[in-house]
Amino acid sequence: MTLHSAPDRAAAASARSDARRAAVVDLGSNSVRLVVFEGLGRNPVAVFNEKAVLRLGRGLEASGRLNEEAVVQALQVMQRYNAIARAMGADPFEVLATAAVRDASNGPDFVAELQTRMPGVPIRILSGEQEADFAAAGTICGIPGADGVLADIGGGSLEVVRLARGRRFEAQTLKLGVIRLADRAKQDVERARLLAEQDLATVPWLGTAVAPDLYAVGGAWRALARMHIARAGYPLGIVHHYTIAADEARQFTTTVAEAPRRVLERMAEGSRKRVDDLPYAAVVLRRLLRITGARRVVFSANGLREGWYMDLLPAEIRDEDPLLAAGHDYARRLGREPDLPPALIAWTAPLFPDEPAVFRRLREAACWMSDIGHRDHPEYRAEQAFLRIFRQPGVGLDHHARAFLGLALALRYEAEPDAPFLAPARQLLTIADQRRAEILGHALRLAYTLSAGTMTLLQATRLDVGSTLTLRLSTGSGVFEGESVTRRLQRLASTLALSAQTRVDR
């Protein structure tokens, strides 16, 4: 199912530079969330994000109706969200209602009342198929090559989608949202296991799909990921792209499903509002791992809302590589000379013969990002550059990319290789990957020393790599072998385990 149109390339370029805002409300069974996005770039930029946990779907299984107390609260919250979106100039602004509203007998009355309080605001009651489409588009936004099974858990429903190399195929909606499952099971976790197993068995393709990865989307599973990050002492507290091997995920979900409430409260810490949901989220995740045979769980912070945003993008932007798009965005916002990054890409290429495609992308992204610290205080440029990449909120970087680029750019700003702030990145990289990042970082430092950040001066230099690392300089170009150049050339050569020399071409 296609959710987008494709304006021409000129319109796409215009849209990218436009600072317009777009807002969406995800009106779910468990929570209601407003997100305001700014611009129309490949990686969504949320400038406002607010959530209210209302549990509209509580009791729906027994009564067939939305929770009356939650309806009153929702009307108040939605009036606030309407005021915020209007004050921020968001256009388009849309409300997407999901399982609880579409299944409740009083859902139409609730929507009608909302419409009177939010005149002119489109309110869409999504079908399960549409929920799956948006969830898939949002996940692919952040993980373009997603391959396996996507599972988006909410309060009222679970959407499962087969993904293959970034394309969406079969999808189905099940009544396995955490609130609905708890109600169906009469708050009995053991009975919830049986219900989850029975429901998942009705999806004919789920057990036969080739599922190297299980992509976990939804607030309840994000809470599980945060718990696991804390328990594992993982060095990066970002859920998006966090990955757990299947065996470890099965053990962890069993622990969560069987833990007494007081233990869960200690484990959950920042996600205590989710404590009631966690055992049911764990049960469904474990059953999905069993039936899909997935090798690992990949958590995605993207879902329905980002899928809605992707639908706004011209095809030319939507189809960009998110990693390189992030690099281009940094260069556009923080760089001094727009023509320098492509020159740096060519200048550093001789250092990496037979370079795998995955590392070429990282090297290109590093070159685009390489001037991000020039406005920072000189004493803190290295650490600021590192943190700006390692902890940036965008979706374009997985954890390996954050670590690699953060390390390379910190060294570009001459961080000490054993600086304590680099330790989290080094934990996420193999020794070989650390060495690649070090070579690239030292090369970029040398390039900026030679060129003063200009393409004209950089083009008067060249690196030759053989049994010796040779820096070639053009005479009369304004580039010469001073102390700083010699020192940085020697450091790069040492990282390559080579000797260094300089030659002046006349």
- Residues 45-88: pLDDT tens digits? 999 999 999 999 999 999 999 999 999 999 999 999 999 999 99
Radius of gyration of the chain (CA): 26
Mean pLDDT, residues 92-112 taken together: 96
Place 439 in a pLDDT band, splitting at 50, 70 and 90.
very high
Residues 6 or more apart whose CB falls under 8 angstroms from that of 98 comprise 26, 27, 28, 29, 126, 131, 154, 156, 157, 304
Instruction: Look at residue 272 in the predicted model and tell me its pLDDT.
Output: 67
Task: Report how far residue 181's alpha carbon sits from residue 156's, in angstroms, rounded to the nearest whole number.
Answer: 8
Write out pLDDT tens, residues 387-422: 999 998 877 899 999 999 999 999 999 999 999 999
pTM across the whole model: 0.91
How far apart CA 143 and CA 160 sit, in angstroms, is: 16
The owner of tokens 């670590």 is: 403
pLDDT confidence bin for 98, thresholds 50/70/90:
very high
Average pLDDT over residues 24-29: 96
- Report the chain's mean pLDDT, rounded to a whole number: 93
Q: Report d(CA 349, CA 340) in Å as an integer.
A: 14
Q: What is the pLDDT of residue 87?
A: 97
Contact yes or no for 161/149 (Cβ under 8 A) = yes
How far apart are alpha carbons 270 and 257 in whole angstroms?
18
Contact 105, 51 (CB under 8 A): no
Q: Is the pLDDT of residue 325 over 60?
A: yes
Give the residue-averaged pLDDT of 423-451: 98
Percent of the chain with pLDDT over 90: 89
Report pLDDT for 271. 64
Predicted local distance difference test score (pLDDT) of residue 191: 98
Angle at 260 between CA 257 and CA 262, to 5 degrees: 125
What length does the chain have? 506
Beta strands in 39-195 (DSSP E): 46-53, 90-97, 123-125, 148-153, 158-164, 167-174
**Strand, helix or coil for residue 237:** coil
- The Cα–Cα gap between 1 and 278 comes to 32
Q: Would you say 436 and 352 are in contact if contact means Cβ atoms under 8 Å apart? A: yes
Instruction: Note the Cα 376 to chain centre separation in Å.
Output: 26
Q: What pLDDT, on a 0 to 100 scale, did the predictor assign at position 478?
A: 85
Task: Tell me what percent of the chain is helix, strand and coil, each rounded to the nearest 5.
Answer: 50, 15, 30
Whether 10 has a pLDDT exceeding 80, the answer reads: no
The answer on pLDDT for 179 being more than 80 is yes
Helical ranges in 259-392 per DSSP H = 261-268, 278-292, 304-310, 315-318, 322-334, 340-348, 357-369, 381-390
Mean pLDDT for the stretch of residues 437-447:
98
For residues 381 and 192, give the distance between their C-alpha atoms in angstroms, rounded to a whole number: 52
Distance of alpha carbon 288 from alpha carbon 197, whole angstroms = 9
- From 8, 3, 16, 292, select the one nearest 134 (Cα to Cα): 3
Please tell me what DSSP assigns to residue 422.
Answer: G
Nearest to 444 by CA among 345, 357, 375, 360: 345
Token pair belonging to 333: 């916002």
Task: Compute the average pLDDT of residues 341-366.
Answer: 97
Residue 151 has pLDDT above 50, yes or no: yes
pLDDT score, position 492: 98
Listed in sequence order, the residues at least 6 apart from 263 whose beta carbon sits closer than 8 Å to its beta carbon are none
**Least-confidence region, from 1-5, 105-109, 259-263, 385-389:** 1-5
How far is Cα of residue 277 from the mean position of the Cα atoms in its chain? 24
The DSSP-derived string for 153-171 is: E-SS-EEEEEEETTEEEEE
**How does DSSP classify residue 33?**
E
CA 38, 40, 45, 46 torsion: positive or negative? positive
